[in-house]
Amino acid sequence: MSYRFFEDVNTNFDRAAPYVDAEPGLLEQIKRCNSVYHVTFPIKKDDGTIETVHGWRAEHSHHKLPAKGGIRYSTLANEDEVVALAALMTYKCAVVDVPFGGGKGGVKIDANNYTESELERITRRYTFELIKKGFIGPGEDVPAPDYGTGAREMGWILDTYRAINPSIDAEGCVTGKPVELGGIRGRTEATGRGVFFGIREACSHAQDMKDLGLTTGLEGKRVIVQGLGNVGYYSAKYFQEAGCLIVGIAEASGGLYNEKGMDLENVMTHWKETGAIKGYPGAESFKDSRKVLEMDCDILVPAALENQINEENADRIKAKIIAEAANGPTTPNAHNIIKQRGALIVPDNYLNAGGVTVSYFEWLKNLSHVRFGRMDRRNEENMMRKVLTAIEDASGNGISKKVSEELVQGSDEKDIVDSGLEDTMIVAYNELREIRRANNLDLRTAAYVSAIRKVAVAYDRQGIFP
């Protein structure tokens, strides 16, 4: 039977629903996808041939506007996947208190098979189709990068949207843009950064770590990452900087494992030079990268695609913490197998919310037309200077130039974004942990409980037409 992603999302929903005090009809409405648009359009390739491209955009919920969610370029894209990912966005935004509905887009292509100009034509035409049907706009539906897309595509989307809707708020129609086109500093690395903050928080709870047979903190923990793209690379980078050992890497073209750890940047250089991570001299190479997921480690970070940990391999996965950086990497049956083994699954609809959180900051910046830090940075610095002078006067001791330079530094956009993201991930983790403890649940079910409760309240107050 082919994989049904939306069914898996709803299985998770159904596990949580009994813990939510809401009208059954309302729960049914929350579960459903409000609207989905499937479009086919022709694009002319550089050699003059014409190809038909399939694209989708799903808006799972409108309890808050705009709908929000990435656009994926993948040969696996289909309606079920887009709807499932849009549903995950609904729950994810609710978990981290980002005031958006859930949306997602997909275009069924392998981006590696097209030239840059072909990709630009596909992206612009897809955007145009979304505009025609009202599936994009700063107050309606705001896409972002996802698998196979990045800042470049978001720039094309903005340009196409603005050409047709040249409004003052047009910049807010898409997030994850290049900074010079209204993007925000810190968005590119935001999802991986959020994964790091979330797992650091999980590892800071002594009793939880003791239950897993692990020590508190990240230092020395052995990490395996699947998918070294945007999310996987930045997750691995922050884990390595925090003192973790990157012992395994699984990519589409092969995998690596070295129990003593390997240097991430060296692996990236090898990949760039040879076209594959396989053959990296500092580790054992695996042709079938799925084998790497089953190797010994403390933290496994699936950061590629859905359905990677399933009934077929779940009982061979040894990790004590599954850090779901990708969307839907663990099927519900695999979740049960891993849970029975006593491992901790930190779920996707919390853990990879860093991207949408910083997208929210970018959207706020676009609508307010001012960069974070611009109004108060110098003022902050002047105030700190005055405080230091007062301390020096009162104590009669001078403060060294080095120390005062460190202290007198107002926050710029990157600092503000980073601290907003850190706070969001810490607060949300502890909220879920509390629900988990109070109801004796796993963290995924706790995340769904938290999300459904919040969405139900929003629908009750404003989402039902009388």
Tokens representing 242 are 């925090």
Kindly state whether residue 89 participates in binding ligand NAD, applying the rule CB under 6 A.
Answer: no
CB of residue 288 vs ligand NAD: minimum separation in angstroms? Answer: 10
Closest-approach residue to ligand NAD (CB): 229
CB of residue 195 vs ligand NAD: minimum separation in angstroms? Answer: 9
CB of residue 217 vs ligand NAD: minimum separation in angstroms? Answer: 25
CB of residue 355 vs ligand NAD: minimum separation in angstroms? Answer: 3
- Interface residue with ligand NAD among 138, 182, 355, 463 (CB under 6 A) is 355
The residue (of 256 and 449) whose beta carbon lies closer to ligand NAD is 256
Kindly state whether residue 303 participates in binding ligand NAD, applying the rule CB under 6 A.
Answer: yes
CB of residue 350 vs ligand NAD: minimum separation in angstroms? Answer: 11
Selected range binding ligand NAD among 8-16, 142-150, 154-162, 256-264, rule: CB under 6 A: 142-150
- Interface residue with ligand NAD among 127, 230, 240, 450 (CB under 6 A) is 230
Measuring CA to CA, how many Å separate 314 from each of 106, 151, 184, 260, 343? 28, 35, 38, 24, 11
211-215: long-range pairs with CB below 8 Å, 24+:
211/342, 212/320, 212/321, 212/342, 212/343, 212/344, 213/320, 214/298, 214/320, 214/321
Is 104 noted as a catalytic residue in this protein? Answer: yes
Select which of 31, 68, 104, 177 is catalytic.
Answer: 104
- Interface residue with ligand NAD among 61, 123, 127, 191 (CB under 6 A) is 191
b/e code 112-131 from CB counts within 10 Å (16+ = b): eebeeebbbbbbbbbbbbbb
Kindly state whether residue 373 participates in binding ligand NAD, applying the rule CB under 6 A.
Answer: no
3-state secondary structure of 38: strand
C-beta of residue 284 within 8 angstroms of C-beta of residue 262: no
Q: What angle do CA 119, 324, 238 make, to 5 degrees?
A: 80
Rounded CA separation 266/168 (Å): 45
- Interface residue with ligand NAD among 29, 226, 235, 307 (CB under 6 A) is 226
Q: What is the DSSP letter of 400?
A: P
Rounded CA separation 194/422 (Å): 7
Kindly state whether residue 228 participates in binding ligand NAD, applying the rule CB under 6 A.
Answer: yes
The residue (of 271 and 459) whose beta carbon lies closer to ligand NAD is 271
CB of residue 190 vs ligand NAD: minimum separation in angstroms? Answer: 7
The residue (of 31 and 104) whose beta carbon lies closer to ligand NAD is 104
The residue (of 96 and 449) whose beta carbon lies closer to ligand NAD is 96
Rounded CA separation 379/250 (Å): 47
First to last CA, the chain: 41
C-beta of residue 250 within 8 angstroms of C-beta of residue 232: no
Selected range binding ligand NAD among 19-27, 197-205, 320-328, 418-426, rule: CB under 6 A: 320-328
- The sheet carrying 245-251 orders its strands as 284-286, 254-257, 245-251, 222-226, 299-302, 321-323, 344-346
Tokens representing 258 are 């070295």
Catalytic residue positions? 104
Residues that bind ligand NAD (CB under 6 A): 70, 145-148, 191, 226-232, 250-252, 289, 303-305, 325-327, 352, 355
